[in-house]
Copies of this chain bind each other. A is one copy, B any other.
């Protein structure tokens, strides 16, 4: 069998023919499909049994181009293999926090995953001021486990190198290299921005200190293989309800700096916070929800930091600095200091990489719905100016960040 693009009809035959799917759809089941693809990269179907519509799976297929840009933008289909590899690994290191993978097929660039019918993508509910009381706990567990357990703090050197080799993901890394760190900051035809912030956008593009800092962060993204990253951990890559949360779409997975994933998430929560200056005109209602969001940011980071350190204390099996290395008078204290500095450095990296992502969301190719959905251009510009000021300061001040309160402080100061 060779690669062919599935459609709503052929996807049913395809699933029906897969041996691995018999436990969900017994031989002879009649199936139906519905296309639900709303992502930027792939086509996605729900396939369900005609007789048992609650039995359903998600079928994802990579197309040989970037879905959002059409077939003029070729993109290798290997991204589906990276996504499936990452989900299989996450099912081990962070079980229950990602969808189950039932089946996959490299030739067809297809994955058949758990259908999350009771979950919704997080982005829009945050604009609607929904609350997810368990989210900070769940995502901080995901971050701590996925990053710690795939790093040199936990894996023996030889296993870490095998992981690194498995996740050399050049084409999707190149998308981020271009669209997070480069193109938004030069004149590039795909960039889009609100004409009302033209002066601010141009000021960023000619801010020498900022440009150098962004180039340093790009090198960090390109070269520092600290742990396996999700690689695109924004609120559109999270599906949840009040009880349960799953991280989806890790097609950008590669070994990179831990702060990149942490920064992507914190920065998306702050973008949502800022969007309420327009979405929630009532000052009291807004203040209350924004307070909730900042507390979420605080809880995500502090939860991550505590869980990461706990894992390190309990499972220091990697070769970076094993227990024996700290076996000297004062060694236990120094190991504690080393851990604290290491975790603080993840926050500094999150500040820098998150800062770049703030900027690219208002002057690059892909905005976020939280902000693009603000119809009044003046209102949107007000929020976008905050985004630029906060992003710039997260980048420029990253080396003096000591705690999450420093990042929150910048958000407060620049959103008065």
Binding site for B on A (CB under 8 A): 152, 157-158, 160-162, 164-165, 168-171, 173-174, 177-178, 182, 185-187, 205-206, 208-209, 211-212, 215, 218-219, 222-226, 255, 319-322, 324-331, 333-334, 337-338, 341
A-B contact pairs, 12 of them (CB 8 A): A157-B173, A157-B174, A161-B168, A161-B173, A164-B168, A165-B165, A206-B329, A208-B337, A212-B338, A215-B320, A215-B325, A223-B224
> Do A157 and B182 touch across chains, with their CB atoms under 8 A apart?
no
> Do A325 and B182 touch across chains, with their CB atoms under 8 A apart?
yes
> Do B226 and A223 touch across chains, with their CB atoms under 8 A apart?
yes
Contacts of A157 in B (CB 8 A): 170, 173-174, 177, 222
Q: Can you name the residue of chain B whose Cβ is closest to the Cβ of A164?
A: B168
Q: Can you name the residue of chain B whose Cβ is closest to the Cβ of A213?
A: B338
Q: Which of B168, B178, B320, B333 contacts A208 (CB 8 A)?
A: B333
Other than the given A185-B325, A218-B321, 5 more pairs (CB < 8 A) read A152-B219, A157-B173, A158-B174, A211-B331, A212-B338
A324 CA to B185 CA, complexed, in Å: 10
> Do B208 and A330 touch across chains, with their CB atoms under 8 A apart?
yes
Q: Which of B152, B168, B185, B324 contacts A223 (CB 8 A)?
A: B152
> Do B319 and A182 touch across chains, with their CB atoms under 8 A apart?
yes
Shortest beta-carbon distance from A130 to chain B in Å:
38
Shortest beta-carbon distance from A377 to chain B in Å:
26
> Do A206 and B330 touch across chains, with their CB atoms under 8 A apart?
yes
Q: Which of B225, B226, B334 contacts A211 (CB 8 A)?
A: B334
A324 in contact with B186 given A223-B152, A331-B211, A334-B212 (CB within 8 Å): yes
A326 in contact with B177 given A168-B161, A206-B331, A226-B223 (CB within 8 Å): no
Q: Can you name the residue of chain B whose Cβ is closest to the Cβ of A322?
A: B182
A288 CA to B223 CA, complexed, in Å: 43
Contacts of A177 in B (CB 8 A): 157, 319
> Do A158 and B185 touch across chains, with their CB atoms under 8 A apart?
no
> Do A320 and B170 touch across chains, with their CB atoms under 8 A apart?
no
Contacts of A215 in B (CB 8 A): 320-321, 325, 338
Contacts of A209 in B (CB 8 A): 334
Q: Can you name the residue of chain B whose Cβ is closest to the Cβ of A152?
A: B222
A139 CA to B168 CA, complexed, in Å: 31
A168 CA to B255 CA, complexed, in Å: 13
Shortest beta-carbon distance from A98 to chain B in Å:
24
> Do A170 and B158 touch across chains, with their CB atoms under 8 A apart?
yes
Contacts of A206 in B (CB 8 A): 328-331
> Do A161 and B170 touch across chains, with their CB atoms under 8 A apart?
yes
Contacts of A225 in B (CB 8 A): 223-225
> Do B211 and A325 touch across chains, with their CB atoms under 8 A apart?
yes
A186 CA to B205 CA, complexed, in Å: 50
Shortest beta-carbon distance from A321 to chain B in Å:
4
Q: Can you name the residue of chain B whose Cβ is closest to the Cβ of A159?
A: B170
Shortest beta-carbon distance from A74 to chain B in Å:
13
A171 CA to B165 CA, complexed, in Å: 14
Name the residue among A212, A226, A331 with the largest chain B CB count within 10 angstroms. A212
A9 CA to B117 CA, complexed, in Å: 72
A160 CA to B225 CA, complexed, in Å: 14
Contacts of A319 in B (CB 8 A): 174, 177-178, 182, 222
Q: Which of B164, B329, B337 contacts A212 (CB 8 A)?
A: B337
Q: Can you name the residue of chain B whose Cβ is closest to the Cβ of A161?
A: B170
A160 in contact with B226 given A206-B330, A333-B208, A337-B212 (CB within 8 Å): no
Shortest beta-carbon distance from A139 to chain B in Å:
24
A334 CA to B213 CA, complexed, in Å: 11
A218 in contact with B334 given A225-B225, A325-B211 (CB within 8 Å): no
